[in-house]
C-alpha cells in the first residue's frame, strides 16, 4: 500500500473532509467537503486560499492505486506497440518462409523434372546411338552389296 493513502487525520475529522496544504505556508488544513471551491483564510499565514475540490470522495486509497495501475499501463502500452511490431515482423518472416518453402519445392520439382529429362535424353541418346550404329551397319552392308553388284546396278545409286 502506498504511503499517500492514510493522511494522518487529527481527531474530529470525518473521512469526507478535504485535506490539503496551504500553498503559501504548506500548513496541513482540513475542511468539510461542503467547503470545496470556497475561498478561505489560512489560519496560519492569513493568506486567502481556495479549497480544492476533492478527488473522488470516499475510496481515496483505491483511487491512488488506480492511478498507479494507469502509470503501469503506460509501460505495457509501449510494450504492446513493440509486440505488435514483433508480430508483424513474425508474420513477414512466416510469409517469406512460406515463399522460400514454395521456391524450394519448385526447385526440387524442376530438379526432378530436369533429372527426368536428362534420363530421357540419355535413353534417347542411347537409342539414337543404337540407331546410328544400325544405320552405319546397314550403310556398310549396302556399300558391300552395291560394290558386289556394281557391274549390274551402275545406274542405281
Query: Where does this chain bind Zn ion (CB under 5 A)?
Result: 22, 24-25, 27, 42, 44-45
Smallest gap, in angstroms, from Cβ of residue 18 to Zn ion? 15
Name which of 8 and 48 has its Cβ closer to Zn ion.
48
For residue 92, how many other CB atoms are within 10 A of its CB?
10
User: Smallest Cα–Cα separation from 102: which of 92, 110, 113, 114?
Assistant: 110
Q: Cβ neighbours of residue 13 under 8 Å, at least 6 residues apart? A: 19, 30
Name which of 28 and 63 has its Cβ closer to Zn ion.
28
Smallest gap, in angstroms, from Cβ of residue 54 to Zn ion? 19
Name which of 24 and 114 has its Cβ closer to Zn ion.
24
Name which of 25 and 30 has its Cβ closer to Zn ion.
25
d(CA 147, CA 137): 15
Smallest gap, in angstroms, from Cβ of residue 43 to Zn ion? 8
Contact 45, 24 (CB under 8 A): yes
Smallest gap, in angstroms, from Cβ of residue 48 to Zn ion? 10
Amino acid at each position: 500500500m502506498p504511503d499517500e493513502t492514510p493522511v494522518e487525520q487529527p481527531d474530529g475529522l470525518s473521512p469526507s473532509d478535504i485535506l490539503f496544504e496551504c500553498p503559501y505556508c504548506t500548513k496541513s488544513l482540513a475542511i468539510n467537503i461542503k467547503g470545496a471551491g470556497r475561498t478561505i483564510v489560512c489560519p496560519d499565514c492569513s493568506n486567502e486560499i481556495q479549497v480544492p475540490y476533492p478527488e473522488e470522495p470516499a475510496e481515496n486509497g483505491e483511487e491512488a492505486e488506480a492511478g498507479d495501475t494507469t502509470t503501469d499501463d503506460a509501460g505495457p502500452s509501449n510494450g504492446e506497440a513493440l509486440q505488435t511490431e514483433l508480430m508483424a515482423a513474425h508474420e513477414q518472416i512466416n510469409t517469406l518462409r512460406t515463399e522460400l518453402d514454395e521456391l524450394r519445392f519448385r526447385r526440387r520439382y524442376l530438379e526432378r523434372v530436369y533429372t527426368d529429362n536428362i534420363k530421357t535424353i540419355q535413353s534417347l541418346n542411347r537409342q539414337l546411338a543404337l540407331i546410328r550404329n544400325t544405320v552405319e551397319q546397314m550403310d556398310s552392308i549396302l556399300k558391300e552389296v552395291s560394290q558386289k553388284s556394281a557391274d549390274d546396278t551402275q545406274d542405281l545409286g
